[in-house]
Amino acid sequence: MKYQAIIGLEIHLRPKTKSKMFCACANGSDDLPPNTNICPICLGHPGTLPVVNRTAVELGAKMALALNCQIPEQSKFDRKSYFYPDLPKNYQISMYDRPVGVGGWLEIEVNGTSRKIGLTRLHLEEDAAKLIHVSDGSLVDFNRAGAPLMEIVTEPDIRTSPEAKAFMQELRLLARYLEVSEADMEKGQMRCDANISLRPLEEIDDLKMYPKTEIKNLNSFKAVERALEHEISRQTELWEQGAPPKIQSTRGWDDAKQETFEQRTKEEAHDYRYFPEPDIPPLKFGAGVGEFDVAKISASIPETPSAKRARFISEYGFTASDAKILIEDKQVATYTENVLSELFNWLVSIEGSKTKAEKTWSSQKKDFAKLTSGWLSSKLFKLLNASQQSISEIKITPENFAELLGLIYQNKISSSAGQTVLETMFNTGADPSHVIQEKGLVQENDQAKLETMVKTVISQNPGPAADYRSGKQNAIQFLAGLVMKETKGKANPQIVQQLLKDHLK
Ligand code: ZN
Ligand code: MN
């Protein structure tokens, strides 16, 4: 590729508040019959006065702090004028030069490489109404009008479509960890506009920027990725024809055709005739002082996904990829930590003292982590997915899950028996030792017993035995299978393999 993509994103998140941004109408009831969740304020009737939703401001500041933004002492709302039927006042209350958060960054990882994506700002504003286009015109549903939004604008730091997708996913995860927004793209709680231009690779150091194209309203992670890919190849072609985009333009994304299409050439900021909103006093932020206490908001921020990911690696010995999977959902991460703490308790009971258990734990930390992540992510998650349950509905207590891991770790049951036990535990919530006893699944580890069986199997199957001796490695699996069958699957497979090898020498 001879060109580098310069990508910036503008992401709108719907804060989790009870009411709209400036009135008492409910937030998040877009599904109600059209125009039933409205009042004179969100309909923009003359003479009405907006009142700022405190929670929306606090959630915006919380997100801004977690995104490493500076919180200025004062922030204010402005009127952004534009004329469109989805906007009853003919202006949107937004923020122009005094946003809630300035600067900041979010770290993302793509293919094992981490990058910090810089942020320009985070500001608050109100949502517009929804337009429904019908055969003989357009209808307006104001239920969404005036709903709160926080808009996060990145610097043009993103270089590839997978980076854009990773940024969106990390942002969504952070919003969910912070409980500032559900950030569900399908429900319109997270929406994305992407800005993209290309730059010839030889000009990489000049930091020169060419007119950008804005792709509007990307409503899924896939749409963001595909639209950017489409735009990169479209603009590459234009560059190769010697006719790169000369002016800023706005394009839409056609999901059916999987391509972007031109909508209009871009208005400059002054076209919006921003001016201070006279009906809303400025917001004052300060540490321990002012209308919004930044220290208090800061203290309400929980461990972030990236911090948790790093801690899962350092504290428990998870691999980077396992840590990534396990923290993807906050409740799964909590469940995992509870299982690990119960697994340690189980180890204490086995080893007889906390000191001994600590020694074993620290020397075999990575094995415990691998065992835990394997049984959670490749086995338990499958059962959850298949039954469409979330981890909060699970019947298996962390204590029982840890006990199952302990039994597998001690070779008391084979991993195939473990699978059966897990399924039963999943369906009934029973504890593993009961299930094992009931189903007679205790693993046969008795060397002498197994050796007798191995000898019998070898003498009764001279053909496969001779095959193995003459170099057919696979023949041993057939013989091992017979021993497993003989023990109804309870024989310890490692011991059986070893015994067969010893006796087939
Ligand atoms: Zn209202
Ligand atoms: Mn906006």
Instruction: Give the model confidence (pLDDT) of 57-81 as tens digits.
Output: 999 999 999 999 999 999 999 999 9
Strands 148-154 and 3-13 come out as antiparallel
Which residues have C-beta within 8 Å of that of residue 456, sequence separation ≥ 6?
none
Output the pLDDT for position 205. Answer: 76
Degrees (nearest 5) of the Cα angle 182, 155, 229? 75
Distance (Å) of CA 249 to CA 84, 89, 195, 196, 408: 19, 26, 10, 10, 60
Strand order in the sheet with 78-81: 91-94, 78-81, 275-276
Distance 35 CA to ligand 2 centre (A): 22
Q: Which two structure tokens, joined as six digits, stand for 268? A: 């400059």
The residue type found at 505 is: K
Distance 171 CA to ligand 2 centre (A): 17
Say how far apart CA 314 and CA 203 lie, in whole Å.
41
> Per-residue confidence of the chain (505 residues) as pLDDT tens digits?
689 999 999 999 999 999 999 999 999 877 799 999 999 999 999 999 999 999 999 999 999 999 999 999 999 999 999 888 999 999 999 999 999 999 999 999 999 899 999 999 999 999 999 999 999 999 999 999 999 999 999 999 999 999 999 999 999 999 999 999 999 999 999 999 999 999 998 877 777 889 999 999 899 999 999 999 999 999 999 999 999 988 888 999 988 899 999 887 765 656 788 999 999 999 999 877 668 999 999 999 999 999 999 999 999 999 999 999 999 999 999 999 999 999 999 999 999 999 999 999 999 999 999 999 999 998 999 999 999 999 999 999 999 999 999 999 988 888 888 999 999 999 999 999 899 888 887 888 888 999 999 999 999 999 999 999 999 988 999 999 999 888 877 888 889 999 999 999 8
Which residues have C-beta within 8 Å of that of residue 34, sequence separation ≥ 6?
132, 139, 141, 142, 143
Distance 97 CA to ligand 1 centre (A): 26
Closest-approaching ligand to the CA atom of 29: 1
Which residues have C-beta within 8 Å of that of residue 101, sequence separation ≥ 6?
60, 61, 63, 64, 65, 67, 69, 70, 71, 119, 121, 122, 123
- Whether residue 178 contacts residue 154, with contact meaning beta carbons closer than 8 Å, is answered with no
- How close are the terminal C-alpha atoms of the chain, in Å? 58
Say how far apart CA 86 and CA 459 lie, in whole Å.
84
Closest-approaching ligand to the CA atom of 127: 2
Q: What are the DSSP calls for 41-71, one per residue?
A: TTTT-TT------HHHHHHHHHHHHHTT-B-
Distance 29 CA to ligand 2 centre (A): 20
Closest-approaching ligand to the CA atom of 22: 1
Degrees (nearest 5) of the Cα angle 83, 85, 90? 40
Among candidate residues 60, 59, 62, the one with its CA nearest the CA of residue 298: 62
Among candidate residues 17, 26, 13, 62, the one with its CA nearest the CA of residue 285: 62
Distance 151 CA to ligand 2 centre (A): 6
Instruction: Give the model confidence (pLDDT) of 352-368 as tens digits.
Output: 999 999 999 999 999 99
Distance 265 CA to ligand 1 centre (A): 33
Closest-approaching ligand to the CA atom of 10: 2
Q: What are the DSSP calls for 414-442, one per residue?
A: -HHHHHHHHHHHHHH---HHHHHHHHT--
Distance 25 CA to ligand 1 centre (A): 4
Distance 504 CA to ligand 2 centre (A): 74
Distance 187 CA to ligand 1 centre (A): 20
Return the H-helix or E-strand segment holding 199.
strand 190-200
Distance 219 CA to ligand 2 centre (A): 15
Output the pLDDT for position 61. Answer: 98
Output the pLDDT for position 269. Answer: 56
Instruction: Give the model confidence (pLDDT) of 72-105 as tens digits.
Output: 999 999 999 988 899 999 999 999 999 999 999 9
Distance (Å) of CA 461 to CA 134, 456, 458, 464, 490: 77, 9, 5, 6, 21
Instruction: Give the model confidence (pLDDT) of 149-199 as tens digits.
Output: 999 999 999 999 999 999 999 999 999 999 999 999 999 999 999 999 999
